[in-house]
């Protein structure tokens, strides 16, 4: 039987979602939810890789991340939200994969390498090094076909594809090889000029920031440092604010670029223009968020029913997996 194609996508509950999520992944979720069976993971185990010493932080951010998804228009009637730690089959599948994934393939993963630098790790935790394997389990336990992600995740999806091929070859072809889907703006820069806006990097404009906060953050954003006076000609290519115009101000981006190069617009006016544009985009998002903030019990209910539904899918697929691996010894025996 032909099944509807499935999407797996999600976020770590490490803080509120920002504009990088909006362009990198959330907009695709909203656009695709009508045509795909959409699963949204709140990856709390993956969040533990960098928060194992403050796990009490996660609970609030589980709700925050769910509300941010809802606030951009992910429809709880169409998409299914679930919490990673409540699906033990994902942990089981991670263990199975970890038997044949090599440590070197993880150590050479470019995203892991840059995150090690960003977090300033001298030594790497076993769980952190292995999170791409856990992510492969997140994607494959529900046989997802498509994964909308930012470009920092591409090397992880590639690993997932290799794991699927290896598993299917070693045992039986039961797993589905997923494809990544990256959006036009697949990596939004941070306000500090860092190549990535990231929740854990504290360099973002959050979907829930109020208008005054957005204004103040944009005012302090890094621009072309060599442009000091209004009459200095600017170089938009090295300006963070211009990159945001490119992502959020399609109608005016060419004009802004020319005006900056010819010094006919100053940084301050350019920033005010961007602030107005971004606040315009964020206003309906803030309104929807306020609706759900007033109804946290509705959000919790959605998380519980989604997680229950997904658990059913996980049990079925894991039965196939164990059978393929010839370790379904006592399935149907009434044992456990």
Binding site for ligand ATP (CB under 6 A): 11-12, 14, 20-21, 24-25, 149-150, 152-153, 186-188, 196-201
For residue 18, the 8-state DSSP code is B
Please, which residues have CB within 8 angstroms of residue 122's CB and are 6 or more apart in sequence?
none
Q: Decide whether 17 or 299 has the Cβ nearer to ligand ATP.
A: 17
Each as own residue / partner, the long-range contacts of residues 303-309 (CB below 8 Å, 24 or more positions apart, any chain) are 303/42, 303/62, 303/66, 303/81, 303/82, 303/83, 306/40, 306/76, 306/80, 306/81, 306/82, 307/81, 307/82, 307/83, 307/86, 307/87, 309/80, 309/82
Q: Decide whether 149 or 321 has the Cβ nearer to ligand ATP.
A: 149
For residue 334, the minimal CB distance to ligand ATP (Å) is: 41
For residue 68, the minimal CB distance to ligand ATP (Å) is: 10
For residue 63, the minimal CB distance to ligand ATP (Å) is: 15
The CA-CA-CA angle for residues 63, 91, 60, to 5°, reads 15
Q: Decide whether 138 or 152 has the Cβ nearer to ligand ATP.
A: 152
Q: Decide whether 20 or 130 has the Cβ nearer to ligand ATP.
A: 20
Q: Decide whether 14 or 259 has the Cβ nearer to ligand ATP.
A: 14
Of 174, 178, 165, give the one whose Cα is nearest residue 317: 174
Distance separating alpha carbons of residues 106 and 130, to the nearest angstrom: 7
Of 207, 203, 199, 204, give the one whose Cα is nearest residue 50: 199
For residue 72, the minimal CB distance to ligand ATP (Å) is: 12
Q: Is 311 exposed, middle or buried (0-12, 13-18, 19+ CB in 10 A)?
A: middle
For residue 193, the minimal CB distance to ligand ATP (Å) is: 13
How many residues make up the chain in this entry?
A: 336
Q: Minimal CB distance to ligand ATP: which residue?
A: 24
Q: Decide whether 20 or 132 has the Cβ nearer to ligand ATP.
A: 20
Distance separating alpha carbons of residues 20 and 153, to the nearest angstrom: 13
For residue 15, the minimal CB distance to ligand ATP (Å) is: 6
- 3-class DSSP state of 13: coil
For residue 118, the minimal CB distance to ligand ATP (Å) is: 8
Task: Enter the tokens of residue 81.
Answer: 């939200």
Q: Decide whether 175 or 197 has the Cβ nearer to ligand ATP.
A: 197
Tokens 């533990």 sit on residue: 48
Q: Decide whether 42 or 318 has the Cβ nearer to ligand ATP.
A: 42
For residue 73, the minimal CB distance to ligand ATP (Å) is: 16
């Amino acid at each position: 039987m032909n099944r509807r194609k499935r999407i797996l996508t999600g976020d770590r509950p490490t803080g509120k979602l920002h504009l990088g999520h909006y362009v990198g992944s959330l907009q695709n979720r909203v656009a695709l939810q009508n045509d795909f069976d959409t699963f949204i993971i709140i990856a709390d185990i993956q969040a533990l890789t960098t928060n194992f010493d403050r796990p009490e932080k996660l609970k609030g951010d589980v709700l925050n991340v769910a509300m941010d998804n809802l606030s951009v228009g992910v429809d709880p009637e169409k998409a299914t939200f679930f919490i990673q730690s409540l699906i033990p089959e994902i942990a089981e599948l991670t263990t199975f994969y970890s038997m044949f994934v090599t440590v070197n393939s993880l150590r050479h993963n470019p995203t892991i390498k840059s995150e090690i630098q960003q977090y300033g790790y001298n030594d790497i935790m076993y769980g952190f090094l292995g999170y791409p394997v856990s992510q492969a389990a997140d994607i494959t336990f529900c046989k997802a076909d498509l994964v909308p992600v930012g470009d920092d995740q591409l090397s992880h999806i590639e690993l997932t594809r290799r794991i699927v091929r290896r598993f299917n070859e070693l045992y039986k072809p039961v797993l589905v090889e997923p494809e990544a889907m990256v959006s036009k703006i697949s990596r939004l820069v941070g306000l500090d000029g860092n190549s990535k806006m990231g929740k854990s990097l504290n360099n973002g404009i959050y979907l829930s920031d109020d208008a005054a906060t957005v204004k103040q953050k944009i005012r302090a954003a890094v621009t072309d440092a060599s442009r000091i006076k209004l009459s200095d000609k600017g170089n938009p290519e090295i300006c963070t604010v211009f990159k945001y115009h490119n992502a959020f101000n399609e109608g005016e981006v060419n004009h802004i670029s020319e005006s900056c190069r010819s010094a006919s617009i100053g940084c301050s006016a350019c920033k005010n223009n961007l602030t107005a544009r971004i606040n315009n985009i964020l206003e309906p998002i803030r309104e929807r968020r306020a609706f759900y903030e007033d109804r946290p019990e509705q959000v919790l209910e959605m998380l519980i029913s989604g997680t229950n539904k997904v658990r059913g899918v996980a049990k079925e697929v894991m039965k196939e997996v164990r059978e393929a691996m010839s370790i379904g010894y006592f399935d149907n025996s009434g044992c456990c």
